[in-house]
Structure 1
Amino acid sequence: MKMSNVAVAVMCAMLVVFLCGNHQVSMAAVTCNPLALSACASAITTSSPPSAQCCSKLKEQRPCLCQYVKDPNLQKVINSPNAKKVANICGSPFPTC
């Protein structure tokens, strides 16, 4: 299912918010940075196959996904069916939060 232009615009606006804000939080060996998931934006918004870089970043950021779901600026994208589909394709299903 293709995302509407409004959904794509919302996704782009959220990426701008991330670029302007500092959302980095260190968790053990991983630095939580939602911008790292920008490599997955195309796969999430267009349902195209995720790139190797997307899958790598998704696996790297997996420990942070529950934190991202709690962020009102991120939760719509992170909870989207396409985001979960991309995670499953990458072999990194969403954790139970």
Structure 2
Amino acid sequence: MRSSSYTTICIAAMVLVIMILGTQPQVATAVTCQVTQLAPCAAAISSSSVPPSRQCCVKIKEQRPCLCQYMKNPSLKAYVSSPNAKKIAKSCGVPTPKC
């Protein structure tokens, strides 16, 4: 009788572990660095009076690993490192990268 209770407890514990592991987020896929993904931020980058949209913040967070690459590109540097871009990043909770 005692081993039956022990077995039941072990099975319940294993089921609980499986349920917990099954609810963990999946490993993120690699980000494709495409500056066009930041298009939802165009209005906020162009005008300091336009706050970033929710979609802009989502894209900034997704493209965060790419920001240094964009900053090193002479064609993009002026936009990505502009005061408005820094305000957007701060507003969206994305720290300015140190490249």
Range 28-37 or range 49-58, more displaced: 28-37
Determine the structure 1 residue equivalent to 2:82. 80
Secondary structure of 2:84's partner?
helix
In structure 1, stretches of 5+ residues that fail to align are 1-27
Cα deviation, residue 38, structure 1: 1.1
How big is the alpha-carbon RMSD for the aligned residues of Structure 1 and Structure 2? 1.0
User: If you compute each CA radius of gyration, which structure gives the higher value, 1 or 2?
Assistant: 2
Count of aligned pairs = 70
Aligned to 1:43, the other structure's residue is in SS state helix
Runs of 5+ in structure 2 lacking a partner? Answer: 1-28
In structure 1, how many angstroms separate the alpha carbons of the residues matched to 2:68 and 2:42?
18
Could you tell me the TM-score, scaled by structure 2's length?
0.68
Deviations 1:4-53 (A, max 9, x none): xxxxxxxxxxxxxxxxxxxxxxxx71010100111101011112110000
Structure in which a larger fraction of residues adopt strand: 1
Q: Supply the AA of the counterpart residue of 2:84.
A: N
The residue identity in structure 2 corresponding to 1:30 is V
- Over the matched positions of the two proteins, sequence identity in percent amounts to 60
One-letter amino acid of the counterpart of residue 45, structure 2: I
